[in-house]
Structure 1
Amino acid sequence: MVDKFGSNEGGEFGVAPSGPRRSFPIELLPKTSKISDGRVSIGGVDLGWLAHEVGTPFFVYDEEHIRSVMRRLKRSFVGEVAYASKAFLCRELARIVDEEGLFLDVATQGEIFVALSAGFPASRMIFHGNNKSSEELRFALEAGVGRVVVDSFDELDRLDTLAFGPVRVWIRVTPGVEAHTHEYVMTGQEDSKFGFSFNSGAAERAIKRVLDSSNLVLVGLHCHIGSQILRLESYRAAIEVMAVLVRRYELAELNIGGGLGVPYVGGEEAPSLEEWVSELGRYAEQAGIPGAVRLHIEPGRSIVAQAAVTVYRAGTIKRLEGIRTYVSVDGGMSDNPRPVLYGSGYDTLLVERAEDVATEIFCISGKHCESGDILVREALLPADLAVGELIGTPVTGAYGYSMASNYNKVLRPPVVFVKDGKHRVVVRRESLDDLLRLE
């Protein structure tokens, strides 16, 4: 069943277009994208030219798109905005987050390290994670992270032992709410590895433990009900649960989490950023959360997903009469595992022939030793698609590179930022020597 915003609860977030298509849905492309004489440019940089410069495959991010989304969130939300770095993090992006005045949601020592190396202030970092080791906690405390989001009683024990001064903490509460999304990215339900259950009383026991500690300072609560959420009413029940604890313990801060979904294919709809934050504020007010409570949100996907396109080169075309036509590209599940993990749908276009009429369905497959290595199961493209052509998959800015691997010892692609007609490689392509650097 697909709801009015296009979220398929069976697992596939997007559905393929059907019938001939005379124009690509440009709303899926980054903010500064243009199509002229069939050629796609982003940030004033022609993607065909860029493919010649950096090789394929590659991720290209529109810097102006990222900054624009961050500014819209800051303007429209009454509280603080943190970027969820798990969606995608590199040093250049950390610098942009800093310049735009957002907080940074980090979940591992590695994410803290990368952000610190970019000069991001630790005081604006929020440290998440369901299994923080003593080493990670020590690293975070020595760096001076602004908030530690406590996720378990074991973590409370570790943190209380390691603290060498007042540590400002949030308690992560599992509100017992099931968001309408894929089961793998639901996090607020009762059966969850994350947080302290509200219904069982564990959340209140954790709160009291912190209040009794001489080393920990309880400044607020946190919840996060899932990812790729397209039904805003999913947030209402969670906020109502959180309001009970915020009022009871007179807390100063409440982090409502992130999770706002985005369209991945043409015709799919999602709430706007402004609709999302407006509804969150309204739900908080209706739940009786005092106006003095500082609200926080932590979007990731909705900031960077639509900012990027992955560009591949078609290498092999295999027509199986009466079955399907496979187009194998020079990437695959190693740079975008989402289709394999979640059955996620994507749209496609030829970046040098984007205005040609698309009439034939192709199956875009990766180069890995897996039959399931399918990037786009039903891609509508021009029937005369040829070997060597450049295929773009938009909306790959979140959970693509950040979940990339070296499966089959495939080299991870570069990440390129574009703006004002210029490009810069912010993450270089891996080399063969990189494959041996840990041996």
Structure 2
Amino acid sequence: MGQTASAPASRAASPLAPAWLDVPQDLNALEPKMWAHDVERTAGGELTVGGLGVAVLKERFGTPLFVLSEADFRRRAREFKDSFDAAFADVCGGVDVYYAGKSFLCSAVATWVGQEGLRLDTASGGELAVAAKAGLAGELIGLHGNNKSDAEIVRALDMGVGRIIVDSLDELERVARIAAARGTDTPGTGPDGGEAPRAKVMLRLTPGVHAHTHEFIATAHEDQKFGLSLAPGTASAGFVGEHGGTEASAAEEAVAAAVDHDSIELLGVHCHIGSQIFDPEGFELAAVKLLTFVAAMRPAYGAALPELDLGGGYGIAYVPGDTPRPPAEIARALAGVVRETCARLGIDAPRISIEPGRAIVGSTTFTLYEVGTIKDVVVDVPVVDVPSENDGDETAVRRYVSVDGGMSDNARPVLYDADYSVALASRTSSASAQLSRVVGKHCESGDIVVRDSYLPDDVRAGDLLAVPGTGAYCWALSSNYNYLARPGVVAVDGGSARWIVRGETEEDLLSRDMGA
């Protein structure tokens, strides 16, 4: 990525900095793995995306602003599709890649997903509505959720979604009942008087694989709300009494129930072990456990289970030390495990699907902010060595750089202790490095955008800062706390920019206020 040559910044590390944070050799350099491929600096030092400078973006659209590279999104989507198709060509003929819409979704993104040969994973009626607005074919859509309403299930069936991912035995019964009541299993109600399609269902299972991630985004251990357990002994007493054996699992009970329903077409099983994962072993272990389960279900209940979804959760780089794996590397490793396991079990490989979201959209986007207040705070240096009589005497300065957004446009630091990076975007600087904390304008002490980063010492009010890696779960989790209008999202492509989600106005904020 391009940058302007400058005098080297001071290498003095702050004693307040976390151990993982190094002082950059060059404060003006951009770490490629954290940014869209078409982000660079001009000769004058301004950050650009797709050839368009941040000053123009601020003038036209204001700040704070989510800036998304359309070309980078399409490139990452194609890379997942092409890499997994190539790796699994001899295993199951390719892979169905479902973009996880919960990470960031609007009708433009849903359109790009379809154009690049991907499918769309949704998790609510609202996300289904976005897919419908984009004109995405129903068979290319999946519906997730641990507590789907009847209305959401009906909407999914009306749209002809390709799969409903069922999360519990109760939900399986509701889907079967709703599908049966609509006549979906009654001959003569389909096109040309034929049999109407049944509800296409996958079962979400919890394989008990623990991902190394934050507790609230690890979704395959037993003590959480998602999925049907593979653990022996988790089936209901009624199922055990009918089928015998105390080692039956809730997952096995769900397969048996689905097979018994005429209104259900059981496609297969699904798992998702967590989010922001770099270690490949969790994905591979989950694949082995689910394939072993699939192999056991045909002789036990006559369930072929022709499809297997291995979820998503692939990590991206938020800070320089993060080490995301390229899609091709992930695909080759998973294909090897599926190929070997199916051969050992003596089964044909099911059709594999995956659900990347953050790994596609995360690094396509940065948030653009304008600097306001700057404040230096003297802080006691934490004791890390053997206590001495001088403990507590050492202090250091932490700089608080306030911007015109905050936790309303990025809730992840306060929710998950998530770390981000930041760059001076409107110019370069030869000033020394100053440990800084980028904070928002909300009435909360936890309103932190970037907890720890080095910025040039001469950052001042009016400068523009860019925080990379905000494409996933930032706009999606945004709020109107303190009655701040949520920022819009601008897509940049080929030197032009356009709203794909308009920024809110005060009129929007007041439009639902019904008065006294």
Query: Which whole-Å CA distance do the structure 2 matches of 1:197 and 1:355 have between them?
Result: 55
Query: Is the partner of 1:113 in helix, strand or coil?
Result: helix
Q: Conserved in 2, the CA contact under 8 Å of 1:122 and 1:144?
A: yes
Q: Conserved in 2, the CA contact under 8 Å of 1:29 and 1:394?
A: yes
Query: Which of 1 and 2 has greater Rg?
Result: 2
1:191-270 equivalence runs, <5 A: 191-199=223-231, 200=234, 201-248=249-296, 249=298, 250-270=304-324
Q: Conserved in 1, the CA contact under 8 Å of 2:63 and 2:404?
A: yes
Q: Assess, with a 3 A threshold, how the Cα gap between structure 1 residues 247 and 357 changes in structure 2: closer, same or farther.
A: farther
Query: Is the partner of 2:97 in helix, strand or coil?
Result: strand
Deviation at 1:20, TM superposition (A): 5.2
Q: Conserved in 2, the CA contact under 8 Å of 1:314 and 1:327?
A: yes
Deviation at 1:21, TM superposition (A): 3.0
1:317-348 CA-to-partner distances (Å, cap 9, x unmatched) read 11224442211110001100111111111111
Deviation at 1:391, TM superposition (A): 0.5
Q: Conserved in 2, the CA contact under 8 Å of 1:314 and 1:388?
A: yes
- Answering whether residue 360 of structure 2 is matched by residue 303 of structure 1, we say yes
Deviation at 1:356, TM superposition (A): 4.2
1:154-212 CA-to-partner distances (Å, cap 9, x unmatched) read 11121111103111110111101111111110001111211100013000000010000
Query: Is the partner of 2:454 in helix, strand or coil?
Result: strand
Query: Is the partner of 1:339 in helix, strand or coil?
Result: helix
**Could you tell me which residue of structure 2 aligns to residue 185 of structure 1?**
217
- Structure 1's consecutive aligned runs of 4 or more residues displaced over 6 angstroms after TM superposition are none
- Answering whether residue 66 of structure 2 is matched by residue 59 of structure 1, we say yes
Query: Which whole-Å CA distance do the structure 1 matches of 2:268 and 2:430 have between them?
Result: 54
Query: Which whole-Å CA distance do the structure 1 matches of 2:447 and 2:260 have between them?
Result: 52
Q: Conserved in 2, the CA contact under 8 Å of 1:255 and 1:296?
A: yes
1:4-43 equivalence runs, <5 A: 15-18=20-23, 21-22=26-27, 23-36=29-42, 37-43=44-50
Query: Which whole-Å CA distance do the structure 2 matches of 1:64 and 1:182 have between them?
Result: 31
- Show structure 2 runs of 5+ residues with no match: 1-17, 89-94, 185-197, 235-248, 299-303, 379-395
Q: Assess, with a 3 A threshold, how the Cα gap between structure 1 residues 14 and 72 changes in structure 2: closer, same or farther.
A: farther
1:29-58 CA-to-partner distances (Å, cap 9, x unmatched) read 111112122111111111121111111000
Q: Conserved in 1, the CA contact under 8 Å of 2:429 and 2:456?
A: no
Deviation at 1:419, TM superposition (A): 0.6
Query: Which whole-Å CA distance do the structure 2 matches of 1:219 and 1:268 have between them?
Result: 36
**Could you tell me which residue of structure 2 aligns to residue 47 of structure 1?**
54
Q: TM-score, normalised to structure 2's length?
A: 0.80
Q: Which one of 137, 147, 162 corresponds to residue 131 of structure 1?
A: 147
- % identical aligned pairs: 42
Q: Which one of 100, 105, 112 corresponds to residue 89 of structure 1?
A: 105
Query: Which whole-Å CA distance do the structure 1 matches of 2:146 and 2:173 have between them?
Result: 14
Q: Conserved in 1, the CA contact under 8 Å of 2:34 and 2:469?
A: yes
Q: Conserved in 2, the CA contact under 8 Å of 1:329 and 1:366?
A: yes
Query: Which whole-Å CA distance do the structure 2 matches of 1:103 and 1:208 have between them?
Result: 28
Larger RCO, structure (CA 8 Å, separation 6 or more): 1
Q: How many residues align?
A: 427
- Answering whether residue 116 of structure 2 is matched by residue 109 of structure 1, we say no
- Answering whether residue 426 of structure 2 is matched by residue 419 of structure 1, we say no
Query: Is the partner of 1:217 in helix, strand or coil?
Result: strand
1:255-334 equivalence runs, <5 A: 255-288=309-342, 290-321=347-378, 322-334=396-408
Query: Which whole-Å CA distance do the structure 2 matches of 1:25 and 1:256 have between them?
Result: 30
Query: Which whole-Å CA distance do the structure 1 matches of 2:430 and 2:104 have between them?
Result: 32
Query: Which whole-Å CA distance do the structure 1 matches of 2:429 and 2:283 have between them?
Result: 40
Deviation at 1:268, TM superposition (A): 2.2
Q: Conserved in 2, the CA contact under 8 Å of 1:20 and 1:357?
A: no
Query: Is the partner of 1:288 in helix, strand or coil?
Result: helix
**Could you tell me which residue of structure 2 aligns to residue 72 of structure 1?**
79
**Could you tell me which residue of structure 2 aligns to residue 434 of structure 1?**
508
Deviation at 1:291, TM superposition (A): 4.6
Letter in 1 for 2:72: H
**Could you tell me which residue of structure 1 aligns to residue 175 of structure 2?**
159
Query: Is the partner of 1:87 in helix, strand or coil?
Result: coil
Query: Which whole-Å CA distance do the structure 2 matches of 1:48 and 1:16 have between them?
Result: 29
The RMSD of aligned alpha carbons is 1.6
Query: Which whole-Å CA distance do the structure 2 matches of 1:70 and 1:104 have between them?
Result: 12
